[in-house]
Chain A
Amino acid sequence: MPAGPRQLSGEAVAAPVAAAVPDAILRATDEWVEVRPERIADVLRFLHDDADLDARQLSNLCAVDRHDRFEVVYHLQSLDRNHQIVVKAIVGEHDEPSLPSATAVYKGALLQEREVYDLMGVRFEGHPDLRRMFLWEGYPGFPLRKDFLQIPEHHPGLPKFPFEESGVQAR
């Protein structure tokens, strides 16, 4: 699978995390490690403080709407050891998703969690200032959700490109 050149495999991260934060790990692949959403803040705290994993910077935080669940993805960076760790928390609840905030561990999560809340509607419990950011308070709905303004049975664009089978190439 396509992983970053300096990315630690999920299995390598899962073992020390499982030892320190019991029953937090749900699954580990060669790319990422999935943790129980309610334990995410503890896991991030451990990854941040641990000398070997050394995830001192939260480089990216975003969420993916999978129709019935939300994946919140954390890309963590170690500057001293130069590796990247990918952690996912999958929230099964689709109407009112929420999970603990990472702001106590990373100040860099302040704006990124606000962005996810604004556009995806995922609540981060414990965030000091969780408000809409790009849109205004009271905006109806969360536009990055897949069901936002969805027309039933409608798929954008053509199902296939004209002459796709004949091997037309992009210019």
Chain B
Amino acid sequence: MTAATEPYVLNIGPQHPSTHGVFRLRVVMDGERIQDVEMVVGYLHRSMEKLAEERTYTQNIPFTDRADYLAAMSGNLGYCLAVERLAGVEVPERASYLRVIFAELQRIASHSMANGTFVNDAGAWQTPLMYMFRERERILDLFEMTCGARLTTNYMRIGGVAFDPPEEFYPAIESLVDELPERIEEYAELLVDNEILLARGRGVGIISAEDAINGSLVGPMLRGSGVPWDLRKAEPYCGYDRFDFEIPVGRQGDAYDRFLVRLEEVRQSTKIIRQALDGLPSGPHKTQIPLALRPDPGEAYARVEGPRGELGFYVVSDGGSAPFRFHIRAPSLINLSLLREMAIGASLPDAIVALGSVDIVVGEIDR
């Protein structure tokens, strides 16, 4: 005899550890299976795009820290590139190298957090996360000694970077870059081919390459599905074409593949930082720009490969000292376009793992 089941609604979040911030899921369940899922966002909406229309170009840089607060450097960089393209500002060589170093440090910090919380969601409670926080902590120390802030760095400027790193920065980053490969091996030993992680991550949240492209997925989500697309290679900015690195891709497009892609990207970032440190030229770290930058009317769209993928900034000028329109193309939000495809038909614990593998930052979803 089979009992008839009736769908019921389950509310997850907005205050819930597995939603990584104030993010709410409204799930319609039939027994153990998910019938439908709807995301409810906006709890962190600060309307940055509107606020930016009343501030000068330089005053808007701190907003880009607070959009994706786990990758403030990438946000700073993308926005500065957009304004530089709009206003035709040249960047000195040393500033480009410093930007690469800090953007890659940020990627390592962000991917450590992403992988740590992902295995946390998969059931490896806290231990791997704390291991990965060890390296993230040292990177945040480097940020702090350079620009005084750990998360909301506000470090990049239109035309360069705000400060040259202090003397003590160089030995600290040298020892970090020397130790990182060893540390990454430690994580790989601990987590790759780990039976629990394989059981929880393999075959979960599968997205085909075709769907990933059509659903505007970017970053490790797209590469996890086997598409070798990375803006650092496809549209090199800040002289990324000078550095030798590879783009890791996944084979099956599941949550576990995304985890592997992020782990490998940390290795590649270490390689880039090593090359950038060795080639770091001397010279000015910033071009002087007028206090009130007034670009000619026009528009520019610049994007960088942030830790979560294509982070784009669309800036429109009407000739004034504030942008006429400022739009952030937020990878955290757009990577959720296929959330229903990933979750429907799955069990609830699998959907949590799939969501964890997307690596959302709610500050960037809501902006």
| Segment of B9-17, B276-284, B286-294 in the binding face | B286-294
- Given A5-B235, A6-B234, A107-B215, decide whether A79 and B288 contact each other with a Cβ distance below 8 A: no
**B330 smallest CB distance to A (angstroms):** 9
Q: Mark A90-106, 1 if CB is under 8 A from B, else 0.
A: 00000000000000001
**Who on chain B is nearest to A105 by CB?**
B214
In the complex, the answer to whether A134 meets B45 with C-beta atoms within 8 Å is: yes
In the complex, the answer to whether B312 meets A57 with C-beta atoms within 8 Å is: no
**Who on chain A is nearest to B40 by CB?**
A133
Q: Mark B76-94, 1 if CB is under 8 A from A, else 0.
A: 0000000001101000000
**A94 smallest CB distance to B (angstroms):** 16
**A61 smallest CB distance to B (angstroms):** 9
A115 CB contacts on chain B under 8 angstroms: 333
In the complex, the answer to whether A73 meets B314 with C-beta atoms within 8 Å is: yes
What bracket does the count of chain A residues touching chain B fall in?
35 or more
| Segment of B108-116, B145-153, B166-174, B317-325 in the binding face | B317-325
Measured in the bound complex, the distance between the Cα atoms of B338 and A110 in whole Å is: 9
| Segment of A12-20, A33-41, A156-164 in the binding face | A156-164
**Who on chain B is nearest to A118 by CB?**
B42
A130 CB contacts on chain B under 8 angstroms: none
Measured in the bound complex, the distance between the Cα atoms of B298 and A107 in whole Å is: 29
**B207 smallest CB distance to A (angstroms):** 11
In the complex, the answer to whether B288 meets A169 with C-beta atoms within 8 Å is: yes
- Given A59-B216, A108-B337, A111-B333, decide whether A79 and B227 contact each other with a Cβ distance below 8 A: yes
A28 interface hit (Cβ, 8 Å): no
B264 interface hit (Cβ, 8 Å): no
B88 CB contacts on chain A under 8 angstroms: 2
In the complex, the answer to whether B300 meets A161 with C-beta atoms within 8 Å is: no
A168 interface hit (Cβ, 8 Å): yes
User: Chain A interface mostly helix, strand, loop or mixed?
Assistant: loop
- Given A60-B312, A110-B337, decide whether A161 and B321 contact each other with a Cβ distance below 8 A: yes
B65 interface hit (Cβ, 8 Å): no
In the complex, the answer to whether B291 meets A161 with C-beta atoms within 8 Å is: yes
| Segment of B46-54, B118-126, B192-200 in the binding face | B46-54
In the complex, the answer to whether A134 meets B366 with C-beta atoms within 8 Å is: yes
Pick from A58, A62, A110, A169: contact of B291, CB below 8 A.
Answer: A169
What bracket does the count of chain B residues touching chain A fall in?
35 or more
**Who on chain A is nearest to B339 by CB?**
A111
**A107 smallest CB distance to B (angstroms):** 4
B366 CB contacts on chain A under 8 angstroms: 134
**Who on chain B is nearest to A4 by CB?**
B301
A126 CB contacts on chain B under 8 angstroms: none
B176 interface hit (Cβ, 8 Å): no
In the complex, the answer to whether A2 meets B41 with C-beta atoms within 8 Å is: no
In the complex, the answer to whether B301 meets A144 with C-beta atoms within 8 Å is: no
Q: Mark B228-263, 1 if CB is under 8 A from A, else 0.
A: 010000110000000000000000000000000000
Pick from A106, A111, A160: contact of B336, CB below 8 A.
Answer: A111
Measured in the bound complex, the distance between the Cα atoms of B314 and A133 in whole Å is: 21
**A38 smallest CB distance to B (angstroms):** 23
Measured in the bound complex, the distance between the Cα atoms of B216 and A109 in whole Å is: 8
12 A-B pairs whose Cβ atoms sit less than 8 Å apart in the complex: A57-B216, A62-B329, A64-B316, A108-B217, A108-B337, A110-B337, A115-B333, A119-B49, A144-B50, A148-B50, A161-B292, A170-B293
Give residues in A with beta carbon < 8 Å to B. 1-2, 4-6, 31, 56-60, 62, 64-65, 73, 75, 79, 82, 86, 106-112, 115, 119, 133-136, 143-144, 148, 156-157, 160-161, 164, 167-170
Give residues in B with beta carbon < 8 Å to A. 41-42, 45, 47, 49-50, 54-56, 58, 85-86, 88, 157-158, 211, 213-218, 227, 229, 234-235, 288-293, 298-303, 310, 312, 314, 316, 321-322, 324-325, 327, 329, 333-334, 336-338, 366
6 more contacts with CB within 8 A, not counting A79-B227, A148-B50, are A62-B325, A107-B214, A134-B45, A156-B54, A157-B55, A169-B289
Enumerate the 9 nearest inter-chain pairs by beta-carbon distance, A residue then B residue, closest first: A108-B216, A134-B42, A156-B54, A134-B45, A60-B329, A62-B327, A107-B215, A2-B85, A2-B300
